[in-house]
Structure 1
Amino acid sequence: MIKVILKRLLNAIPLLFMISIIAFLLIKLAPGDPIQSFVTPDMHPDDVERIRKSLGLDQPIHIQYMMWLQNTLSGNLGYSIISKRPVLDMIVERLPATIGLMGASLLVSLVIAIPLGMLTAVKKNTFFDRIANFISYIGISIPSFWFALLLIYLFSLKWGLLPSMGMRTVGEDSILDILKHGILPCTVLAFQNISVYMRYIRSSTIHQLEEDYVQIQYAYGSSKARVLYNHVLRNVLLPIITIIGLSIPSLVGGAFITETVFSWPGLGLLGVTSIFSFDYPVIMAITLFSSIMLVLGNLVADILYSVVDPRIRLRG
């Protein structure tokens, strides 16, 4: 298993290298100039060029990329053009907020989707099954930003039950306050995942209930709950682990939108702000960290796959 993990990590190096090249080219080809944030109406053109040279933006694009790559490999992600702060410090400050939000939404998705999907499979074609499928279609179809705005209007503006912005209330420093602020963004991220996971679990459970081993367990006198928990659940989890690995990119992308709508102080909000201000070092750092999160997320999914199914572990 250790060899497999090391091999996957080594294979991720050229992948991250290609992602960095593509991201750097897209940033440089995009319209806009970060120098505009420094320019004043009475500034002399020579001063503008001096600023451009001090930031290294007067070099050819391949030279700029090699300079960025050399600094990144040495552990130096550079300084933000706008805030003048070290990019690594900005990432470290906001990374826990993003990981916490993504982790909480993924945990909520699994806790709700697994029993709900198995229950709809057991009650196939009943009224409960039709209602659950209808709600899942809604969760898959609606845009996350529209759902976020709807929740803000209902729970914050109309009913005043939950805060609509930020991660903390001014003057409050408690876990309960953070949880209250995280309910709405976590709900937005989890709702679509619950809809997707539930449908896969329902389909997989229906297929497993038709297998011979289930009928044999019933013949031995096992109850339906015992069969579902001891036998069907393990086989149902296999495709779900795959779906989790495939849904990590959408979870990261959804975090960018959700954090922006709710002003959640994570990497998503920082990334969107940096894009609008053409803060190249911050954009590249967030792209790199997001790519690393995706690679590690898929690696964890593969490891969990081998834990659930020992046959995969034995084959390596």
Structure 2
Amino acid sequence: MKKNILRRVLQSIPLLWFISVVSFALIKLAPGDPVNSFVTPNMSAEDVERIRHSLGLDQPVIMQYFIWLKNVLQGNFGYSLTNHRPVLELILERLPATIGLMGSALFLSLIIAIPLSIIAASRKNKLLDRGIGMISYIGISIPSFWFGIMLIYIFAVKLHWLPSMGMRTIGVDSFWDIVKHGILPCAVLTFINVSMYSRYIRSQAISQLEEDYVQIQYAYGATKRSVLWRHVLKNVLLPIITILGMSFADLIAGAFITETVFSWPGMGSLGISSVFGLDYPVIMGITMFSSFMLVIGNLVADILYSVVDPRIKTMR
């Protein structure tokens, strides 16, 4: 096991390096010049070039990349061009808000999606299954920003039940206030996640119900409830582990659109503002943190595979 983990970690190093190269190249190919945000009408051409030199943007692109890579290997992700603060400090400051929102949405999504999927699979092509399937297709199809705006209009503007944006009310410092602000964005993410997860888990559950061991359990007198929740559910855990592994990156990157719609002060809104502000160091920082967490998530998922299913002895 230790050798396999070490092998996967070593394999992830060239992958992360490749991601950094592609991301850095795409950022440099994007239109726009971050120096323009520092330029005022009274500045001369010499002043503009001085700013460009101070930001290190007058160097060749390859040189800029290797300077960035050297600093990252030393734990320095650079300084934000728009916030004028260390990138790592900005990321760590926004991280708790994103983890709280994305973690809550992921937990609620699994709690809702797993029983719904098992029930839908056990009633394949019946009214309940069709109803759950229709709701899932709606959740997959509608844009998250539109759904978020609709929730704001109904519950914040019309009913005045919940706040429409932000994470805290000015002058209020309580946990319940944070919960109230997080209900709407969490509802958006949960509904979309449940719609995606339920289709995936349902298909896996249906395939398990067609296996021979299910018929053998029925032959031994097992009830349908026992077969579903003691045997089928256990064999559906593998795709659930895959979902959890793939969700590690979201816990860092956040939901860009949803956090922006609700002005949630997380990594997603930071990423959107960085893209519009051409804040290259922050964009690279968020990209590399997300990529690293995705690699870690896949590694953890592979380890859990062997725990859940002892037949899996080696990691892929």
TM-score (norm 2): 0.94
Counterpart of 2:231, as a letter, is H
CA contact (8 A) 1:189 1:254 kept: no
Corresponding residue number in structure 1 for 2:71? 71
Corresponding residue number in structure 1 for 2:25? 25
Cα displacement (A) at 1:226: 1.6
CA contact (8 A) 1:200 1:240 kept: no
Cα displacement (A) at 1:115: 0.3
CA deviation digits over 1:238-274, x for unaligned, max 9?
2332344456667877711111111111111111111
CA deviation digits over 1:106-139, x for unaligned, max 9?
1111100110001111222222111111001111
- C-alpha distance in 1 between matches for 2:145 and 2:11: 35
User: Matches of residues 111-126 of structure 1 in structure 2 within 5 Å?
Assistant: 111-126=111-126
Corresponding residue number in structure 1 for 2:6? 6
| SS of corresponding position for 1:310 | coil
TM-score (norm 1): 0.94
| SS of corresponding position for 1:77 | coil
- C-alpha distance in 1 between matches for 2:254 and 2:195: 15
Cα displacement (A) at 1:46: 0.8
Corresponding residue number in structure 1 for 2:236? 236
User: Matches of residues 197-212 of structure 1 in structure 2 within 5 Å?
Assistant: 197-212=197-212
CA deviation digits over 1:124-156, x for unaligned, max 9?
222211111100111111111111111111121
Cα displacement (A) at 1:69: 0.7
Change in CA separation of 1:162 and 1:127 when aligned onto 2, cut-off 3 Å: same
CA contact (8 A) 1:189 1:251 kept: no
- C-alpha distance in 2 between matches for 1:11 and 1:77: 23
Corresponding residue number in structure 1 for 2:39? 39
- C-alpha distance in 1 between matches for 2:89 and 2:246: 30
Which deviates further from its counterpart, 45-54 or 303-312? 303-312
Change in CA separation of 1:219 and 1:108 when aligned onto 2, cut-off 3 Å: same
User: Matches of residues 74-85 of structure 1 in structure 2 within 5 Å?
Assistant: 74-85=74-85
* Alignment gaps of 5+ in structure 1: none
User: Matches of residues 47-126 of structure 1 in structure 2 within 5 Å?
Assistant: 47-126=47-126
Corresponding residue number in structure 2 for 1:270? 270
Change in CA separation of 1:84 and 1:249 when aligned onto 2, cut-off 3 Å: closer
- C-alpha distance in 1 between matches for 2:175 and 2:188: 20
Corresponding residue number in structure 2 for 1:299? 299
Q: Name the % identity.
A: 67
- C-alpha distance in 1 between matches for 2:315 and 2:136: 36
CA contact (8 A) 1:246 1:298 kept: yes
